Amino acid sequence: ITVILNQYVSDSKCIPESIGQRILPTIFQLICHPQLSIRETTVKALTVYITSCNTHTVTSTLHQVITLLGYKPSTHQLEISTDSLVEAYKAEGLLKICSSIIK
């Protein structure tokens, strides 16, 4: 995925709509894989994709990632239930995506 995306970005081409529509669901599926190298490659692929996107898409993607992390700000809830926490691999991958987008 990363090689294909790099080719489009380096050639100043737009990523085809068919890839753009499918990349986020695929990335969100692979980001919780137990193998570290797959999660790292997934973050790299998303980083390449994000560099070719407009600001709206980048912001929307960041919002989706935060939603997947289950972040719901609340002033009433002082304790966090462990039942509401995201699985460790998924949380790690999603946080790396957030970091990548913010950079």
**Could you tell me the residue range of the domain that residue 12 belongs to?**
2-71+80-102
Number of domains observed in the structure of the chain: 1
Its pTM surpasses 0.85: no
**How do residues 64-86 score in pLDDT, each as one tens digit?**
888 888 855 555 555 555 555 67
Which residue stretches of 1-103 are H helix? 2-10, 17-30, 36-51, 55-69, 88-102
Q: How far is CA 55 from CA 38, 60, 71, in A?
A: 27, 8, 22
**How do residues 4-26 score in pLDDT, each as one tens digit?**
666 655 555 566 677 777 888 99
